Amino acid sequence: MHTVAMHSQIPVPWWRRGAFYQVYIRSFADGNGDGTGDIAGIRSRLPKLASLSVDAIWINPWYPSPLNDGGYDVTDYVDINPLYGNLDEAKALIAEATDHGIKVMVDLVPNHTSSAHRWFGEALAASPGSPERDRYVFRDGTGPDGGLPPNNWRSVFGGSTWTRVPDGQRYLHLFDPSQPDLNWENPTVRDAFHDILRFWLDLGACGFRVDVAHGLAKDQTFPDIDHDADDADETDQDRVLARGAHPHWDRDDVHDIIRGWRTVLDEYPDTVMVAEAWVANWDRLARYLRADEFHQVFDFDFLEADWDASQMRHAIVTSLDGAASVGAVPTWVLSNHDVVRHATRYALPPGTRSKTWLLDGDRNDIDDALGLRRARAAALLMLALPGSIYLYQGEELGLPEVYDLPVEVLDDPVWTRSGHTEKGRDGCWVPIPWTDDAPSAGFGSVEPWLPQPPGWSAFATASNTDPSSTLDLYRRALELRRIHMTKDEDLEWLDLGADVVAFHRGSGVACVVNMSTSEVPLPAGEVLVASGPITDGKLATDCSAWILV
Ligand code: NOJ
């Protein structure tokens, strides 16, 4: 039995068992008819969000930005991109969301600014060694005439992490050249971010999703990375990462920065901070979850597990144990704006690397109906687990990845920076369909910024008319989750066969996920909700059910 000791006299904070909904703002709903989602669009859809029984929404970066990387290139951390609205609208959104019982979480982007940020302009205008340059990571080139980069680090989006400026120095960017890394060794940077946190908390935000939380601290000797070893044997890199010895990922000194933020959040009751941290294992991840650091960390092992009972069980057990080691619970997630939607991942043959498949995989490999069936089942699995959960907009409609967007419309810098060897993330950013009787499937009144594929409105139609729709399943499960799944943090495994993930929650509900190829008999009891057919007490393959036992 997995039990997390909680002192009964201490009330459980809301976020510990909360349901969060991710709003990718430019693709959620277009309120002002310019083809891009905005704050007005979110406000108009608040009743829909409330009907899903979510506790909070996390809004992807909404700051002024050239949008080279979807807004993860910020030019002003205390304002709103005019494309999305303004600060008054943000305040109105927070107030209206509160009336619907929904809190609003902001996306904090501390690793880098946009190259169009005032600070970067000042750095370029100033000379090497100046305080202005010291807010970023500038270094001289190497080699006889300084013509080589300071080291061989590779950007996540492809190419070197160093870009040369006219006077010969180079600046570091772990991502796109338009995203210069900040220098977190510099107290000015640390102080500025404390002010940014206070700005949004004073405005009423409930907290922050923190971008690239594992990337802020860099080895100040800037050593080369042994890429040959990485390429030859991925486990080599894993070993380096697991020791905390990588020059720029998951270094131990990052925790000092995080503790500083937590001190600020602790001044504001009921606030929450969730980390995006891609690290080697739960031993490393649990450090971010310590009592004076993040409240939550996304569980990417669960997201990355194949549709396979032993992989899923392993991911769940490791996460429960890892989180429990620091008195916390996991934060489960199946999709987000950076990964191939899970209805498509689960539609591919076992072992397919979905990101590679996007580019040039065999389209005959995909079984959409199977993917949707499994995605519905996965939702019931996730919503039954102890801890908090994050939904990605559109998964409640069963949306698949739009993998065949024409390359001319791709906006993700990954496509260009990788030299067209990675297709990028546009396929999960396609604007949401809301109805089938309006232009752009109800997303807005004009053509959306990224095209919707033919038949996209069918996902909305099904949701609005079919009582067994995926939306209906999510609504019911989220409502039931509040009643049955958030009372306690216990989980007891049930043995219903090697290919069945089954467990019992302390509150008296069993969750059964049938990943086998045949029907599975369910435990006796009342079926509260099921993602697919139950015949004579037997659950169909690739389906889940919750039973009140
Ligand atoms: C992680 C974000 O989720 C992703 O969308 C972004 O491109 C990178 N961080 C860089 O900010």
Mutation probe of ligand 1 site: the residue of 24, 62, 72 with most atoms within 8 A of C-beta: 72
pLDDT at 3: 52
pLDDT digits (tens, 9 = 90+) for 193-231: 999 999 999 999 999 999 999 999 999 999 999 887 655
pLDDT at 1: 58
Cα 411 to middle of ligand 1, angstroms: 14
In sequence order, the 6+-apart residues with CB closer than 8 A to the CB of 272 are 13, 15, 18, 56, 105, 206, 207, 208, 265, 295, 296
Distance of CA 368 to the CA centre of its chain: 23
Q: Which amino acid is at 224?
A: D
Which of 1-5, 458-462, 504-508 shows the highest mean pLDDT? 504-508
Given CA atoms 467, 392, 327, 108 in this order, what sign does their dihedral have?
Answer: negative
Task: Provide the β-strand partners of residue 163.
Answer: 171
Cα 158 to middle of ligand 1, angstroms: 14
Distance of CA 42 to the CA centre of its chain: 19
pLDDT digits (tens, 9 = 90+) for 26-80: 999 999 999 999 999 999 999 999 999 999 999 999 999 999 999 999 999 999 9
Quote the longest CA-to-CA distance of the chain. 78
pLDDT digits (tens, 9 = 90+) for 362-417: 999 999 999 999 999 999 999 999 999 999 999 999 999 999 999 999 999 999 99
- Strand, helix or coil at 8? coil
Strand order in the sheet with 520-521: 520-521, 538-539, 534-535
| Ligand 1 pocket, Cβ-based, cut-off 6 angstroms | 69-70, 72, 109, 175, 211-212, 276, 337-338
Work out the average pLDDT over 414-428.
94
Cα 49 to middle of ligand 1, angstroms: 25
Please report the beta strands in 349-421, taking only residues with DSSP state E, as ranges in sequence order: 388-392
Output the residue whose Cα is nearest ligand 1's atom 4: 338
Active site residues: 211, 267
- What would the two tokens of residue 341 be? 């939607």
pLDDT digits (tens, 9 = 90+) for 484-525: 999 999 999 999 999 999 999 988 999 999 999 999 999 999
In sequence order, the 6+-apart residues with CB closer than 8 A to the CB of 409 are 426, 450, 451
| Mean pLDDT score across all residues of the chain | 95
**The overall pTM is greater than 0.95:** yes
Percent of the chain scored above 70 by pLDDT? 97
Report residue 242: phi and psi, to 5°: -65, -25
From residue 397, alpha-carbon distances to 192, 201, 471, 483 in Å are 40, 32, 5, 23
pLDDT at 274: 98
Tell me: pLDDT of 234 over 70: no
